Amino acid sequence: MFRVMSLTCIPALLSVLPAVAQEDDVRRVKGTLGYLQRIALPPEARATVVAEGRFGAMLGEATLNPDGKQVPLPFEMAVPPGLSGEVSAVIRVHGEPRWVLRGLAFEAGRAPVDLGELTLEPVTPIAFATELMCGDTPVLVGILDEEMVLRAEGRDIPLVQIEAGSGARYEGVKDPETTVWNKGDVTTIRLEGRDLPECRKVPPANEMPYRARGNEPGWHVTFSAQTAEVVGNYGEIRREAPRPVVQVVPGAYEFDMPDAGAHLRIEEQLCHDDMSGMPYPDTAYLTLDGRDLRGCGGDPASLLTDGAWQVTALGDAELIEAERLSLNFLNPGRVAGSSGCNRLVGDFTLTGEGMQFGAMGSTMMACTEPLMEQERRMLDALEQVTRFDVTEDGALLLIGGESGTVLLEARQP
């Protein structure tokens, strides 16, 4: 059945505090908290701001006692340098959340971060909520004002339970074309007549799967929700241990696994597999039985799926209306975009060796011949792609063809 959670809590508050002691090892993050409603804060109001990093680790926290002061409320907190994170904030009155902000990202680095004025939104909490990801659509199912609701795409749709041969099935009170059907660990959702992709429950950040690997000798460390598997020396060493609690140090996350004779350090530094050349988001360092090994960590797809890419080069030809050429990589394995003339949609696949695009579909608009020719060149380039790379300054390179050249270059705005 649905996983129960409370959306009025900020998960980072339960995570591991960073081991930050000296001023040289800290980075300052500051800003102010505000909201648009013309409502005065009572004396008992309290505010909390947290910075959450990878693996559900809390990087920093600031607790504010307004003591009669009104918004905007200034805050400042210390976080470890060299790590990216997301800031969340909540203002509570009588212990109940009234305004909230979640997931404001800041990049890795050492320079102080000024987030400016953060505008919090009024809280409309869903109780006993199940958090799902249906393709690239986040969905919540839970209780709001004593009735079951589906929250998706900015709307709350009331639901009523209907008879089902198995599991629990719900239907929109005013929209029978919206349904939620939960059977064990499988949930299927139809939203206003549109079938969403397979829905998966979103695990807590500290239970998300993760994998680091390296070569010469071949090794990998795989985290599941509760366990850690350590494999070394091309499979001759195989050990299992409880998934370790993440420890935050300046510039890295560390995992100590004494039961497996292993220690893993993860740094947010772009890494390339030294055999396939595949880029990975993290650099990994494994100490196994006293031997130091180096490799890469994380999911290469995460380098692609964090926002849209604007095409900046397509072979040697000059681009026409370049601002209209784009690619947007979606989970799982879907890509959409624009050729400057028509909208494109299709599949992409990543393997341990490279990347491939499936057949791309498009709308059927007729444009000027130069734009149509540019579209043909873009589709032809995608068809030839065999791998991708990301440069140190953030450019996406799609590479392929007989000579293995850069066929398309893109950047995130």
Domain range 302-411, its CATH number among 2.40.128.270, 3.10.580.10, 3.40.1440.10, 2.40.160.150: 2.40.128.270
pLDDT in tens, 372-411: 999 999 999 999 999 999 999 999 999 999 999 999 999 9
pLDDT < 50 stretches in the chain: 1-17, 19-21
Residue 126 confidence (pLDDT): 84
Beta bridge pairs of residue 138: 133
- Strand stretches in 12-123, DSSP E: 27-34, 46-52, 58-64, 73-79, 85-93, 96-106, 113-119, 121-122
Residue pair 217/234 in contact by the 8 Å Cβ criterion: yes
Q: Choose the CATH number for 132-201 among 2.20.110, 2.40.128, 1.20.1420, 2.60.40.
A: 2.40.128
Name the strand (E) or helix (H) holding 112. Answer: none
- Give residue limits of the domains in the chain: 27-122, 132-201, 209-298, 302-411
Please state, in angstroms and as integers, the Cα–Cα distance from residue 264 to each residue in 11, 205, 244, 303, 310, following that order: 24, 18, 10, 21, 36
Three-state secondary structure call for residue 23: helix
Residue 58 CA to residue 79 CA, distance in Å, equals: 9
- Residue-level pLDDT at 12: 37
Peptide bond into 332 cis (omega under 30): yes
| Chain segment 234-278, per-residue pLDDT in tens | 999 999 999 999 999 999 999 999 999 999 999 999 999 999 999
Say if 27-122 and 132-201 have the same CATH topology.
no
Q: Does 2.60.40.10 match the CATH number of domain 27-122?
A: yes
pLDDT of residue 1: 42
Measured between alpha carbons, how far is residue 40 from residues 32, 61, 91, 98, 379 in Å? 16, 24, 12, 12, 56
Residue 63 confidence (pLDDT)? 96
Bridge partners, residue 265, by sequence: 254, 285
